[in-house]
Chain A
């Protein structure tokens, strides 16, 4: 097919400014509507709150030997993940520790305050170690220097009632000097 003969462009009409404006506004609105709806939905996770931050039963006092060596216990709680509800699921882990002859129990979150890895107990050297970036902590959660961790291990509120240990389970932001609980 041959190209058609060139046709001169139409003269710029007087109302062309208005037409341009309307085309831009209309086109913008048409595109922005799905974008805005999409952003609205994408931001949904911001209004979700963690179901945590309540006292959860962990174990009996006798299960924490009074030798000053921490023991790891799973934290069991009902949990929802978007549309799925889990009944009595392990949702994390805590270390419980009891000094000799003492009835008070210290509780630490097993989550490393540096970057969120799972802290392990080194029984031989009697300290906590994070396997990721080499943070080490003393048995009472203090920092072993030099350490990349910005703060000590996160102690959790711990209650002993009728021989049972309950811990206020919270998640904290990692990588910052202050211990700030996640909402």
Chain B
């Protein structure tokens, strides 16, 4: 060797220490071996991809270990611990953000590394084995990406993983068992998380390290596969190529940090406050198997596989098997055969074309998936108004449509093409709405988790299931909306929704505005109040439209006072300020046995309940719970209940339609009583 150890005279203490260790370990030779590799033709930028991948993996190990130290894998703690990391721990958003974005960078770098290896023909003898190792490493990285997606146990990861594991069930013979093994049982839960976590943080990276060591050793054994022809003088790996590698690593890091911090910069420019918890990786609402998640999509680098499943429309079960198992398997198998194909005269060209075709194909599928989802963003909705109208008018009956279009084949074909586009746009609109809803749910979950009372031991799902704001709309849609509307009367769609309803509009029920409408002769018999019910012909409508319009017995101030007094009984959240003097005046009018009190019990009047609903505590929490539980109770409509079911009353031996908790949630939601963040 040219740089044999110098004669051991007059060496300083540090050099002596180094000698001591070198004698016993031989480390100098190892370092030398690692750094003083000959790079034929000099350092080049095209050689940096492998190093950037190693850098990305090391970054993932560092950030991953730190995340591991704060993560808890179970159905009641996974989302909760990730919430804590993301929103409460110092630097948590940054570490998680780097881990999340670097994982995506790694997939891009993998594609670049593969391209470079194939184009340079670096899979040919004697490097075949190393090429195969590289493909295995690629599978391991993709496996870590897939398993990592589930770990936050949010809706997005949960539903994406359901699809992925269902596809695993399609593998011939062992599929169902394989799926059950991966899921950790027949249902998704604790053991899905513990298993995915063990795969993600233990088995896969451990295997990856072992393969990586062999990959790098073989890389050194064969040397760099230089770009031909060599025109420049050779150089050493250290420092020339290392410098280029480091620059590339910094560029990768800059991109990753850029992706994380860009929203912060945007917020700063727009003068909005920067919320660190909203930077970096997203955290959706906690996983809930009983709640649909229409925005379910895999991470962008798996979108091509997602889209590929749609390609096989109409193929039945074969299509899914082909799309999820056969085609990806064949393509990967062909990649493994590249070194053998490469021996053939035109083999190298074939391999390059094949790789480019796969990447372009994946790119196109990804673009198709994105185009479908985002079609509504650039579609000219008005251009489809006539098609939409025709579909609506004919009930989408092909014969009627053909007749309307004069049975002109050209026009029918044009219509069908446009109708198809319209359907895509509608699906895209549904996707947008789903994403928006998912964001709202995620935001609410985080808001609830941040309450001073913290998350209960049952987990964040318990928080959401006892949150009136989250549950109210769901319960209302399931149990109330087949009769009642719940729409702001000023909204553009309000008239249509109220006309279609068969009971009162309960939006802002109990507010002064609602009470004014009830006492308004123009409105009380309309669809927002009693118009679509049996009470349209009843005494209340008649009293409001006849007696209360007689200005000798009811002045406008008196009517207003009653409305305000009703609102004071209800005391819903966020109502307009009520003047106590007017409330007092209204209460007296309500209790007056010559006026409201002639039918209604109110205040301390002597009128008994039974004829008309009780106005004492009207629309208050207890009153609402009472009427939802049993509208036939003497406080409400014992004789004149139109069609409202007794939701809280169980028939003999049965269960009520709604539990007491659910009725409480509905009442609170109608009254606007829910936790509001700061």
Residue of A46, A59, A115, A148 most packed against chain B (CB within 10 A): A115
CB-CB contacts below 8 Å: B601-658 with A = 645, 651, 653-655, 657
Least distance between A157 CB and chain B CB atoms (Å): 19
Any A CB within 8 A of the CB of B211: no
Please provide the chain A residues from 92 to 110 with a CB less than 8 Å away from any CB of chain B in the complex.
92-93, 110
Q: Which residue of A lies closest to B186 (CB)?
A: A50
Cβ of A75 within 8 Å of any chain B Cβ, yes or no, is yes
Q: Tell me if A117 and B317 are in contact (CB < 8 A).
A: no
Given A62-B645, A131-B431, A147-B313: A93 in contact with B185 (beta carbons within 8 A) = no
Q: Does A1 contact B (CB under 8 A)?
A: yes
Q: Contact at A131–B295, with CB atoms within 8 Å? A: yes
The docked-state distance in angstroms from the alpha carbon of A176 to that of B314 is 13
Q: A146 to B420: give the CA distance in the assembly, Å.
A: 12
Residues of B within 8 A of A117 (CB): 159, 162-163, 293, 296
Closest to B194 in A: A82
> How near does chain B come to A130, taking the closest CB pair, in angstroms?
9
Residues of chain A with a CB closer than 8 A to B191's CB: 45, 82
Q: Which of chain A's residues have a CB closer than 8 A to the CB of B13? A: none
Stretch from B103-111, B174-182, B344-352 at the A interface: B174-182
Interface residues of B in 173-203 (CB under 8 A from A): 176-177, 180-181, 183-187, 189-191
- Cα A82 to Cα B186 with chains together (Å): 11
What distance in Å separates the Cβ of B202 from its nearest Cβ neighbour in chain A?
12
Chain B residues with CB under 8 A of A171: 186-187
Q: Are A131 and B294 in contact (CB under 8 A)?
A: yes
Contact partners of A118 in chain B: CB under 8 A: 159, 291-294, 296
- B321 touches which one: A48, A50, A129, A175 (CB < 8 A)? A175
Please name all residues of chain A whose beta carbon is closer than 8 Å to the beta carbon of B24 when the two chains form the complex.
1
Q: In the complex, A43→B174 CA distance in Å?
A: 13
- Chain A residues with CB under 8 A of B319: 148, 150
A29 within 8 A of B: no
Q: How far is the CA of A166 from the CA of B520 in the complex (A)?
A: 45
Nearest CB of A to B492, in Å: 17
CB distance from B327 to the nearest CB of A (A): 14
Q: Is A68 an interface residue (CB 8 A)?
A: no
Taken residue by residue from 289 to 325, chain B's Cβ proximity to chain A (1 for < 8 Å, 0 otherwise) reads as: 1111111100000000010011011111111110010
Task: For the complex, give the distance between the alpha carbons of A116 and B324 in Å.
Answer: 14
The 9 closest A-B pairs by CB, nearest first: A90-B290, A81-B189, A150-B317, A118-B292, A146-B314, A131-B294, A50-B186, A146-B313, A177-B317
Question: Could you name 17 residue pairs across A and B whose Cβ atoms are closer than 8 Å?
Answer: A45-B183, A57-B655, A71-B482, A82-B184, A110-B292, A120-B292, A120-B294, A131-B430, A131-B431, A133-B310, A146-B314, A148-B309, A148-B310, A162-B653, A174-B169, A175-B320, A176-B170
In the complex, B63 has a CB within 8 A of chain A: no
Contacting A at CB under 8 A, from B190-232, are 190-191
- B478 contacts A115, C-beta separation under 8 Å: no
Q: Is B23 in contact with chain A by the CB < 8 A criterion? A: yes
B185 and A48 contact, CB distance less than 8 A:
yes
Question: Which of A1, A49, A90, A174 contacts B186 (CB under 8 A)?
Answer: A49
**B187 near A50: Cβ-Cβ < 8 Å:** yes
Q: Are A84 and B75 in contact (CB under 8 A)?
A: yes
A contact set with B: CB distance below 8 Å: 1, 42-43, 45-46, 48-50, 52, 57, 59-60, 62-63, 65, 71-75, 79, 81-84, 90-93, 110, 114-120, 125, 129, 131-134, 145-148, 150-151, 162-164, 171, 173-177, 182-183
A158–B295 CA distance with the chains assembled, in angstroms: 30
Q: Does B427 contact A (CB under 8 A)?
A: yes
Verify if B76 is at the interface (C-beta below 8 Å from A): yes
Question: Does the CB pair A174–B479 fall under 8 Å?
Answer: no
In the assembled complex, which residues on chain B have CB atoms less than 8 Å from the CB atom of A92? Answer: 289-290
Q: Which of B76, B288, B294 has the most CB of A within 10 A?
A: B294
Chain B 129-172 interface mask (CB, 8 Å, partner A; 1/0): 00000000000000000000000000000010011001101100
Q: Flag whether B404 is at the interface (Cβ < 8 A).
A: no
Q: How far is the CA of A75 from the CA of B315 in the complex (A)?
A: 32
Per-residue contact bits, chain B 263-292, to A (CB 8 Å; 1 contact, 0 not): 000000000000000000000000011111
- A176 to chain B: which residues have CB within 8 Å? 170, 317
**Judging by beta carbons under 8 Å apart, are B324 and A175 in contact?**
yes
Determine if B394 is an interface residue (Cβ-Cβ < 8 Å): no
CB nearest neighbor in A for B309: A133
Instruction: Verify if B396 is at the interface (C-beta below 8 Å from A).
Output: yes
Alpha-carbon distance A142/B654, docked complex (angstroms): 33
CB-defined contacts of B187 to chain A, threshold 8 Å: 50, 79, 81, 171
- Closest-by-CB residue of A relative to B654 is A164
- Interfacial chain A residues near B76, Cβ < 8 Å: 84
Once the chains bind, are A134 and B163 in contact (CB under 8 Å)?
A: no
Check if B162 sits within 8 Å of A116, measured CB to CB.
Answer: yes
B506 within 8 A of A: no
Q: Which of A73, A81, A119 contacts B75 (CB 8 A)?
A: A81
Is residue B370 contacting chain A, with contact meaning CB distance below 8 A? Answer: no
Q: Which of A48, A65, A115 contacts B163 (CB 8 A)?
A: A115
CA distance A92 to B295 in the complex (A): 18
In the complex, whether B257 has a CB less than 8 A from a CB of chain A is no
Instruction: Across the interface, name the chain A residue whose C-beta is closest to B461.
Output: A89
Assembly CA distance A183 to B60 (angstroms): 39
Asked whether B186 lies within 8 Å of A132 as measured between CB atoms, the reply is: no
Bound-complex Cα distance A104 to B354 (A): 57
How many angstroms between the C-alpha atoms of A50 and B184 in the bound complex? 12
Given contacts A118-B293, A131-B294, 10 further A-B contacts (CB under 8 A): A45-B180, A115-B167, A116-B166, A118-B294, A120-B294, A146-B313, A147-B313, A148-B310, A150-B316, A163-B651
Residue from A62, A125, A148 with most neighbouring chain B CB atoms (10 Å): A148
Encode contact with A along B51-90: 1 for CB under 8 Å, 0 otherwise.
Answer: 0000000000000000000000001100000000000000
Determine the distance from Cα of A73 to Cα of B479 in the docked complex, in whole angstroms. Answer: 10
Are A150 and B313 interface neighbours, CB within 8 A?
no
Q: Closest CB-CB distance, B168 to chain A, in whole Å?
A: 10
